[in-house]
Structure 1
Amino acid sequence: MEKVNKVVLSQVITPRDPQSYKGNYGKILIIAGSTHFGGAAILCSSAAVHSGAGLVTVATTPEKFTAINVKIPEAMTIDYHSKKDLQLAIQNSNVIAIGPGLGTSSVAKGLVKAVLTNTNAEQTIILDASALTIIAETDLLLQSEANLVLTPHQGEWQRLSQLPIAQQTPENSQAKLRELNPKAILILKKHLSEIYYQDKILQIQAGNPGMATGGMGDTLTGILAGFIGQFGFSIKTISSALLIHSLIADDLNEKNYVVLPSKIIEKLPKYMAKFSQK
């Protein structure tokens, strides 16, 4: 198992071209939130914006528009009940993150199906939270022309893989991922989170118990979307997104008993500037 260290951050987070515009840094679609879980959409989209995504669109329930527009004026909003608007947003996005706070309603199931069946090989789909539960509980298959990134915690991975937590060894998890989709990347969120991609298994050497709070996974999904949108789909990009999330949390944990996801988000631009210096 390969250990991921800070070297990867300087390899991935490169200085921006002086002649840049927002279209150079990814068009991100985040499909998230529901009546009872609007905060997940806010954290996910805020993390994407703060990690440098060029354009972020949030597809959510309309009752959450005002909160998102006030908290994250940089993000656009669309109603995920509108099939026409959703289809257009899917087509126009480089990276689609779906699942945070989405729930498992019939509407949510339709959204997951729409994303899996209407994307192409030039796009990346990040499946998180409710999206993983929907796939585990329905006959939807992890098949898509797009690049797939799965981000379960151990309980979600148990539902998806049918591997009890005690049996989630690197060998078993790698074998199960090959069954589900051999081209996908798995981020198994746990103490010292692991990344699985084809024949590679990587482990993050960062993280702390102060991160055990609601919204932490939603924040990671947003960072992943922002990084992939800017730096492309690769194991290095995904490793760097996961690592910077935990490194910032470790710094915060030195003086804070609990690490709030919103505090990680605030520090992202400064940390990215630090590691972009050659």
Structure 2
Amino acid sequence: MQKIDKSILSEVIHKRPDISYKGNYGRILIIAGSTHFGGAALMSARAAVNTGAGLVTVATVSEKFTAINVDIPEAMTIDYRQENDLRDAISKNNVIVIGPGLGSSETTFHLIKTIIKNIDEQIIIMDASALTVVSEKNINLKTIKNLILTPHQGEWQRLSGLKIPDQTTKNNLEKINSLAPNSLLIVKKHLSEIYYQEKIYQLISGNPGMATGGMGDTLTGIIAGFVGQFGYSLKSVSAALYLHSHIADKIYQKDYVVLPTKLASKIPETMQEFACSQN
């Protein structure tokens, strides 16, 4: 098992070329939020924007448009209940997030099916409610070419059938190779683990101040921003995971709890620090 440390950030984050435009840095579609769980969409989108994603679109319920447009004016909004708009957005974006704050409803099931039917080479990140619905509806994930799964241990238990005490590295690797052999799996926990093509990486940072609502939604947005800019690879996802905990560890030195909004606000300056450290 390989440990993920600070060196991964300088390997992945690089200075932007002088001649750049927003299309160079990823087109991210975040399908998230619902009437009762609008904050998840906000936190995922804020994190994606702050990592430097070129274009971020949030597909959510129209009742949440004002909150998103005021809090994150850099992000665009569409209503995921409008089928044609959603399909058009799926085709135009290269990274698609689904799950934060959606709830385990038939709507979420329909959204997952719509994605699977309308994707080609896009990178799909499934989180939160999407993972629960996949397990409840026994959705086949093997046909998705570029898939990232981000369950916490309870969600992984539902998806894999492995009880938490049985979630050993050996069992996790066997199960993900059975469920979705082309995917990259992050099992979120104390010292989170990544499983990808027979390789296992482990995070060696993080703190108890991160145990608060929205932390996972923020991580999902960071991952989306990283793979949109730096490509879909074990390294880019590992760097996203490390950056999330690295910033949280700095905040925790002074703060009793690590608020996701504060963490997201520190992303641009932290990335610049590591991009400039290559010189």
Which runs of no fewer than 5 residues in structure 1 stay unpaired? none
Residue 31 of structure 2 corresponds to which residue in structure 1?
A: 31
Partner of 1:15: helix, strand, or coil? coil
- Partner AA of 1:18 in structure 2: D
Partner of 2:181: helix, strand, or coil? coil
- 1:106-143 deviations in Å (ceiling 9; x for gaps): 111100111122111x3100000000000000031113
- 1:35-76 deviations in Å (ceiling 9; x for gaps): 000000000000000001000000000000000000000000
How far did 1:275 drift? 0.6
TM-score (norm. length: structure 1): 0.99
Residue 194 of structure 2 corresponds to which residue in structure 1?
A: 195
1:6 aligns with 2:6: yes
How far did 1:6 drift? 1.1
Q: Please give the alpha-carbon distance, in whole angstroms, between the structure 2 residues aligned to 1:34 and 1:145.
A: 25
1:224 aligns with 2:223: yes
How far did 1:198 drift? 1.2
Q: Please give the alpha-carbon distance, in whole angstroms, between the structure 2 residues aligned to 1:87 and 1:198.
A: 30
Q: Is the 8 A contact 2:142 2:181 kept in 1?
A: no
Partner of 1:36: helix, strand, or coil? coil
Q: Please give the alpha-carbon distance, in whole angstroms, between the structure 2 residues aligned to 1:240 and 1:74.
A: 24
Alignment of 1:232-243 (within 5 A): 232-243=231-242
- Partner AA of 1:66 in structure 2: T
Alignment of 1:26-175 (within 5 A): 26-120=26-120, 122-175=121-174
Partner of 1:148: helix, strand, or coil? strand
Q: Is the 8 A contact 1:24 1:54 kept in 2?
A: yes
* Alignment: residue pair count: 277
- 1:238-277 deviations in Å (ceiling 9; x for gaps): 0000000000000000011100000110000000000101
Identity of aligned residues (%): 61
Q: Please give the alpha-carbon distance, in whole angstroms, between the structure 2 residues aligned to 1:140 and 1:176.
A: 15
Partner of 1:74: helix, strand, or coil? coil
- 1:3-34 deviations in Å (ceiling 9; x for gaps): 01111111100110110000000000000000
Partner of 1:59: helix, strand, or coil? strand
Partner of 1:202: helix, strand, or coil? strand
Q: Please give the alpha-carbon distance, in whole angstroms, between the structure 1 residues aligned to 2:211 and 2:87.
A: 35
Q: Is the 8 A contact 2:145 2:183 kept in 1?
A: no
Residue 261 of structure 1 corresponds to which residue in structure 2?
A: 260
Partner of 2:87: helix, strand, or coil? helix
Which runs of no fewer than 5 residues in structure 2 stay unpaired? none
RMSD: 0.7
Q: Please give the alpha-carbon distance, in whole angstroms, between the structure 1 residues aligned to 2:257 and 2:65.
A: 29
Q: Please give the alpha-carbon distance, in whole angstroms, between the structure 1 residues aligned to 2:144 and 2:6.
A: 32
TM-score (norm. length: structure 2): 0.98
Q: Please give the alpha-carbon distance, in whole angstroms, between the structure 2 residues aligned to 1:144 and 1:261.
A: 33
Q: Is the 8 A contact 1:99 1:132 kept in 2?
A: yes
Q: Is the 8 A contact 1:119 1:146 kept in 2?
A: no
- 1:176-202 deviations in Å (ceiling 9; x for gaps): 000001110000000010000011000
Partner of 2:41: helix, strand, or coil? helix
Partner of 2:195: helix, strand, or coil? strand
Q: Is the 8 A contact 2:145 2:182 kept in 1?
A: no
